[in-house]
Amino acid sequence: MKALFKSGPQAGFELVDRPEPRTGEGDVKIKVMTTGICGTDLHIQAWDPWAQENIPTPLIPGHEFYGEVVETGSLVRDVQVGDRVSGEGHIVCGTCRNCRAGRRQMCIRTVSVGIQRDGAFAEYVVIPETNVWVHRDPSITPELGAIFDPFGNAVHTALSFPLVGEDVLITGAGPIGLMAIAVARHAGARNIAITDISASRLDLAKRMGADMTIDVSHERMAEAQEQLRLTEGFDVGLEMSGRASALREMIDNMTHGGRIALLGLPTEDIAINWGKVVTHMLTLKGIYGREMFETWYAMSAMLQSNPVLHEAISGVITDVLPAAEWERGFESARHGTGGKVVLDWRRI
């Protein structure tokens, strides 16, 4: 099969022929149709310090995908050949305390598809049946199905706290931040403000339904408070950027008792005003991945019941390229001015 491959501990990928993965007795083999390019994939391609510390090689990366089941193992019970599917990228042990308590997203032995084991930037990928999400809704296109993983990040982050009637501040208008706008609107938020430094992404944010966009290269979050007539600050913060300045400024603009969900992964330690966190009684909650599988049920139900949300999430995809043009796709994703980039593995 054709696959993007990192042969050793160095920058770059190669589009080469690799052996098809074998299907174990509890596994499902999927013929990949589409894949999304994630920020993690950019780290792996660049072979930056994070990748050097966390990524074993050789490796086929890629963890956001949609495809068709072509083979099932002898112990597979519910997934059938011909099913159209996406996949939960976190493979858990099933026996640690959190797994046994139903908190699988907190498994202490998580292995990630496309990070610690071969992933979906290939014509075929194999994952356990327990990680397969079957799409029953025919309105889910291959392109939309390929971004269920990051859509799940947006849903998990946005729904960490009740949003009905709340004023929401989102820092970072990347694809997940953009999707979080639509989720927050669906969930009943009153005002939604979002920050970034990319004019094109802030324009996308307006189309997604943001009440106010803030270009933090020359505007401050406090100005958003004033323009939205918030007398006490934002109720809920969704930190998507991983930037120290964003978190610090968000904390300064939260109401007393405000709640912040943190999805953005910092590349360095962040010093914050812990005195304000304590005296303003703020709640900070770390988010990693999705709840398995409550988030998957929630996002499927939301898309099926709300055509406006369906259209908005689909609109986050701004580039669909043949897999053969993967280098152009990665360049577009790294440029950081558009939405989601999807590679089509039916065109290699």
pLDDT-derived band at 191 (thresholds 50, 70, 90) equals very high
> If you classify domain 2-147+316-344 with CATH, what class do you get?
alpha beta
Number of alpha carbons in the 13 Å side-chain half-sphere of residue 272: 20
Query: CA 233, CA 226: separation in Å to the nearest integer?
Result: 9
pLDDT digits (tens, 9 = 90+) for 252-304: 999 999 999 999 988 788 999 999 999 999 999 999 999 999 999 999 999 99
pLDDT digits (tens, 9 = 90+) for 212-259: 999 999 999 998 998 999 989 999 999 999 999 999 999 999 999 999
Preceding amide of 234 cis, omega within 30: no
Spans of all domains in the chain: 2-147+316-344, 152-286
Instruction: Provide the pLDDT for residue 86.
Output: 98
DSSP 122: B
* Number of neighbouring beta carbons within 10 Å of residue 230: 19
Is residue 258 within 8 A of residue 235, CB to CB? The reply is: yes
Query: CA 330, CA 326: separation in Å to the nearest integer?
Result: 6
Give me the phi and psi of 347, to 5 degrees please.
-125, 95
pLDDT-derived band at 337 (thresholds 50, 70, 90) equals confident
Query: CA 313, CA 311: separation in Å to the nearest integer?
Result: 6
Q: Where are the alpha helices (DSSP H) in the chain?
A: 39-46, 49-54, 97-100, 142-145, 148-158, 175-186, 199-208, 221-228, 244-252, 274-279, 294-305, 307-315, 326-335
- Predicted TM-score of the model (pTM): 0.94
- CATH topology classification for 152-286: Rossmann fold (3.40.50)
Enumerate the active-site residues. Answer: 40, 43
pLDDT digits (tens, 9 = 90+) for 119-172: 999 999 999 999 999 999 999 999 999 999 999 999 999 999 999 999 999 999
pLDDT digits (tens, 9 = 90+) for 57-105: 999 999 999 999 999 999 999 999 999 999 999 999 999 999 999 999 9
For residue 107 the two structure tokens come to: 């498994």
